Amino acid sequence: MTPPEAPDHQTGTLPPAVLSCPKAAPLTVLKTRKDFLQAARAERQGTSSMMVQARKRRDGETASGVRVGFTCSKKVGNAVARNRAKRRLREAARAILPQQGQDGWDYVLIGRAAVTDKRDFTALKGDLAYALRKLHGKSGSAPK
Protein backbone atom coordinates (compact mmCIF):
# COMPACT_ATOMS: atom_id res chain seq x y z
CA MET A 1 0.00 0.00 0.00
CA THR A 2 1.20 3.52 -0.60
CA PRO A 3 2.23 5.33 2.52
CA PRO A 4 -0.83 7.22 3.72
CA GLU A 5 -0.44 10.87 3.07
CA ALA A 6 0.09 12.63 6.32
CA PRO A 7 -3.31 13.24 7.85
CA ASP A 8 -3.94 16.91 7.70
CA HIS A 9 -4.86 16.99 11.38
CA GLN A 10 -2.96 14.44 13.37
CA THR A 11 -5.10 13.38 16.23
CA GLY A 12 -2.37 11.97 18.39
CA THR A 13 -0.97 15.40 19.11
CA LEU A 14 -4.04 17.03 20.47
CA PRO A 15 -4.73 16.79 24.19
CA PRO A 16 -7.58 14.57 25.33
CA ALA A 17 -10.73 16.32 24.36
CA VAL A 18 -12.95 17.94 26.87
CA LEU A 19 -14.75 15.04 28.47
CA SER A 20 -17.46 17.14 29.88
CA CYS A 21 -20.16 15.26 28.09
CA PRO A 22 -22.35 13.12 30.30
CA LYS A 23 -21.03 9.61 30.34
CA ALA A 24 -23.14 6.67 29.20
CA ALA A 25 -25.14 8.65 26.69
CA PRO A 26 -27.14 5.87 25.06
CA LEU A 27 -26.25 5.36 21.40
CA THR A 28 -29.25 4.60 19.23
CA VAL A 29 -29.33 4.03 15.51
CA LEU A 30 -31.18 6.17 13.02
CA LYS A 31 -33.60 4.08 11.02
CA THR A 32 -36.12 6.21 9.20
CA ARG A 33 -35.53 7.98 5.97
CA LYS A 34 -36.88 11.23 7.39
CA ASP A 35 -34.12 11.46 9.97
CA PHE A 36 -31.46 11.04 7.33
CA LEU A 37 -32.97 13.71 5.14
CA GLN A 38 -33.14 16.18 8.02
CA ALA A 39 -29.54 15.47 8.95
CA ALA A 40 -28.47 15.98 5.38
CA ARG A 41 -29.78 19.55 5.48
CA ALA A 42 -27.84 20.34 8.67
CA GLU A 43 -24.18 21.12 9.30
CA ARG A 44 -21.59 18.90 7.68
CA GLN A 45 -17.85 18.41 7.90
CA GLY A 46 -15.80 16.37 5.49
CA THR A 47 -12.57 14.57 6.26
CA SER A 48 -10.38 12.45 4.07
CA SER A 49 -12.03 9.24 5.18
CA MET A 50 -15.65 10.21 5.80
CA MET A 51 -18.31 12.88 5.70
CA VAL A 52 -20.02 13.74 9.01
CA GLN A 53 -23.40 15.42 9.28
CA ALA A 54 -24.66 16.64 12.66
CA ARG A 55 -28.01 18.07 13.69
CA LYS A 56 -29.28 19.20 17.06
CA ARG A 57 -32.77 17.88 17.52
CA ARG A 58 -35.56 20.31 18.27
CA ASP A 59 -37.39 20.23 21.57
CA GLY A 60 -40.53 18.67 20.23
CA GLU A 61 -38.82 15.45 19.19
CA THR A 62 -39.23 12.57 21.55
CA ALA A 63 -35.91 10.83 20.87
CA SER A 64 -33.27 11.04 23.56
CA GLY A 65 -29.54 10.51 23.80
CA VAL A 66 -27.04 10.50 20.97
CA ARG A 67 -28.33 9.04 17.73
CA VAL A 68 -26.13 7.99 14.84
CA GLY A 69 -26.71 6.70 11.33
CA PHE A 70 -24.43 5.27 8.66
CA THR A 71 -24.65 5.71 4.92
CA CYS A 72 -22.63 4.06 2.19
CA SER A 73 -23.93 4.62 -1.29
CA LYS A 74 -23.23 2.50 -4.34
CA LYS A 75 -20.32 4.76 -5.15
CA VAL A 76 -18.39 3.14 -2.29
CA GLY A 77 -18.30 -0.16 -4.14
CA ASN A 78 -20.01 -3.52 -4.16
CA ALA A 79 -21.86 -5.01 -1.23
CA VAL A 80 -18.74 -6.31 0.47
CA ALA A 81 -17.01 -2.94 0.33
CA ARG A 82 -20.12 -1.11 1.56
CA ASN A 83 -20.59 -3.46 4.48
CA ARG A 84 -16.97 -3.23 5.56
CA ALA A 85 -17.03 0.56 5.38
CA LYS A 86 -20.16 0.65 7.51
CA ARG A 87 -18.66 -1.69 10.08
CA ARG A 88 -15.54 0.40 10.44
CA LEU A 89 -17.61 3.56 10.78
CA ARG A 90 -19.73 1.83 13.37
CA GLU A 91 -16.69 0.80 15.39
CA ALA A 92 -15.26 4.30 15.19
CA ALA A 93 -18.57 5.77 16.34
CA ARG A 94 -18.72 3.29 19.20
CA ALA A 95 -15.26 4.37 20.33
CA ILE A 96 -15.65 8.12 19.92
CA LEU A 97 -19.25 9.23 20.22
CA PRO A 98 -20.01 8.29 23.85
CA GLN A 99 -17.26 10.68 24.93
CA GLN A 100 -17.30 13.38 22.28
CA GLY A 101 -20.86 13.31 21.06
CA GLN A 102 -23.36 15.66 22.62
CA ASP A 103 -26.70 14.66 24.01
CA GLY A 104 -29.67 15.52 21.87
CA TRP A 105 -27.80 15.41 18.57
CA ASP A 106 -28.14 13.26 15.49
CA TYR A 107 -25.02 12.28 13.60
CA VAL A 108 -24.77 10.70 10.16
CA LEU A 109 -21.48 9.17 9.00
CA ILE A 110 -21.02 8.74 5.26
CA GLY A 111 -18.37 6.43 3.89
CA ARG A 112 -16.07 7.28 1.02
CA ALA A 113 -14.88 4.97 -1.72
CA ALA A 114 -11.67 3.04 -0.94
CA VAL A 115 -10.47 5.44 1.78
CA THR A 116 -12.87 4.39 4.54
CA ASP A 117 -11.79 0.81 4.07
CA LYS A 118 -8.05 1.35 3.71
CA ARG A 119 -7.37 4.09 6.26
CA ASP A 120 -5.54 3.23 9.45
CA PHE A 121 -8.04 2.75 12.24
CA THR A 122 -6.55 5.23 14.70
CA ALA A 123 -6.48 7.82 11.94
CA LEU A 124 -10.10 6.99 11.16
CA LYS A 125 -11.07 7.65 14.75
CA GLY A 126 -9.02 10.85 14.66
CA ASP A 127 -10.96 12.00 11.62
CA LEU A 128 -14.24 11.51 13.43
CA ALA A 129 -13.06 13.37 16.53
CA TYR A 130 -11.76 16.23 14.41
CA ALA A 131 -15.05 16.51 12.57
CA LEU A 132 -17.02 16.54 15.81
CA ARG A 133 -14.85 19.29 17.23
CA LYS A 134 -15.31 21.44 14.17
CA LEU A 135 -19.05 20.93 14.09
CA HIS A 136 -19.63 21.70 17.74
CA GLY A 137 -17.39 24.70 17.69
CA LYS A 138 -19.24 26.05 14.69
CA SER A 139 -22.71 25.58 16.11
CA GLY A 140 -21.64 26.88 19.51
CA SER A 141 -20.41 30.15 18.04
CA ALA A 142 -23.50 30.62 15.89
CA PRO A 143 -26.63 29.71 17.79
CA LYS A 144 -29.65 29.36 15.70
Q: How far apart are CA 12 and CA 100, in angstroms?
A: 15
3-class secondary-structure state, position 46: strand
CB of 134 to RNA, least distance (A): 22
Query: Which one of 11-19, 31-39, 54-62, 130-138 is the stretch in contact with RNA (CB under 7 A)?
Result: 31-39
Part of the chain binding RNA (CB under 7 A), chosen from 9-17, 41-49, 88-96, 130-138: 88-96
Q: Residue 89 or 131: which CB sits closer to RNA?
A: 89
In the chain, the DSSP E strands lie at 27-29, 43-46, 50-56, 66-71, 105-111
97 touches RNA (CB under 7 A):
no
**Strand arrangement, sheet containing 66-71:** 27-29, 66-71, 105-111, 50-56, 43-46
Does 62 bind RNA (CB under 7 A)? Our answer is no
> Does 114 engage in binding with RNA (CB under 7 A)?
no
Query: In angstroms, rounded to a whole number, what is the distance separating the alpha carbons of residues 141 and 90?
Result: 29
The residues that touch RNA, with contacts defined as CB under 7 A, are 1, 29-33, 36, 69-71, 78-80, 83-84, 86-88, 91, 94, 120-121
